[in-house]
């Protein structure tokens, strides 16, 4: 069986001033100590990336991620993009991961799968590791459309990539009905979705690439439910929103991600 190191990422969303971000990072560094059984990623807002980067520079077991990027490499040749941030700007701050296609961007900023695909390409070209989010809405789950929805998102979002690119991508299955709602997919529902994702990937990529890719679960993950969710064989970690804003809770989730 292929070994996949678990990966837990904290998505701080639009939270924390720079001062608050520094306190949170210092607390996480202290609470997590040298624990490195799990890959740990912190994704603060753009405004705190530099401060968090400085704090993480001597730390081996926690990495920096961003919450978004623009698909263009710069405004110089391809147009003007006021307010946007490129992959190169993130690299400059030692960012190593970037969340792409989060459901809140899909919902409120009309990001579609084609844009997710272009952003993922931009991240890969800059040697950033994309965390590509997919997931269905509540009506899609209730009308049993979820498999089709996930397949469409995977096909279009990962179009043009091969096994090599897939090897650098992390997927996050985030059922939209479970994000920030307090509702969590049951471990069985999440495992079933993760198995489906691997099955779809095996038809578009190789079987071994579909077994190697890490798939996080996201949607109201908390210290109380992390162990059960993350003990499922196809769940390789978590993308954590609300609960990542509390150092104790976040480190408890990370420690619960490990097989006992």
Which is the catalytic residue, given 39, 70, 71, 102?
102
As measured in angstroms, the least distance from the Cβ of 51 to ligand PEP is: 21
Nearer to ligand PEP, 10 or 205 (CB): 10
As measured in angstroms, the least distance from the Cβ of 101 to ligand PEP is: 11
Question: Which residues make up the interface to ligand PEP (CB under 6 A)?
Answer: 11, 13, 174, 179-180, 218-221, 239-243
As measured in angstroms, the least distance from the Cβ of 243 to ligand PEP is: 6
Cα(205)–Cα(163) distance, rounded to whole angstroms?
A: 6
As measured in angstroms, the least distance from the Cβ of 5 to ligand PEP is: 20
Nearer to ligand PEP, 68 or 220 (CB): 220
Nearer to ligand PEP, 44 or 218 (CB): 218
Nearer to ligand PEP, 48 or 205 (CB): 48
Among all residues, whose Cβ is closest to ligand PEP?
A: 241
Active site residue 102: yes
Which is the catalytic residue, given 39, 71, 111, 174?
174
Q: Which residues are catalytic?
A: 102, 174
């Amino acid at each position: 069986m292929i070994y996949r190191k678990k990966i837990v990422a904290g998505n701080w969303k639009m939270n924390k001033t720079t001062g608050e971000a520094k306190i949170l990072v210092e607390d996480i560094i202290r609470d997590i100590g040298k624990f490195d059984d799990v890959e740990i990623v912190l994704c603060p807002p753009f405004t705190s990336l530099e401060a968090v980067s400085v704090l993480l520079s001597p730390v081996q077991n926690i990495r920096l991620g961003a919450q978004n990027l623009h698909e263009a490499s710069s405004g110089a040749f391809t147009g003007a993009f006021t307010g946007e941030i490129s992959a190169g700007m993130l690299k400059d701050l030692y960012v190593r991961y970037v969340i792409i296609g989060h459901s809140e961007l899909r919902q409120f900023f009309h990001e579609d799968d084609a844009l997710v695909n272009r952003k993922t390409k931009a991240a890969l070209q800059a040697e950033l590791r994309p965390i590509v989010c997919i997931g269905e809405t509540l009506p899609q789950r209730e009308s049993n459309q979820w498999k089709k929805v996930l397949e469409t998102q995977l096909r279009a979002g990962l179009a043009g990539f091969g096994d090599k690119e897939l090897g650098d991508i992390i997927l996050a299955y985030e059922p939209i009905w479970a994000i920030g709602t307090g509702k969590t997919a049951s471990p069985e529902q999440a495992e079933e979705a993760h198995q489906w994702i691997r099955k779809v990937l095996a038809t578009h990529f190789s079987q071994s690439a579909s077994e190697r890719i890490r798939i996080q679960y996201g949607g109201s993950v908390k210290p109380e439910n992390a162990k059960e969710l993350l003990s499922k064989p196809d769940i390789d970690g978590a993308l954590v929103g609300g609960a990542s804003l509390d150092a104790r809770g976040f480190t408890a989730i990370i420690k619960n991600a490990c097989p006992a």
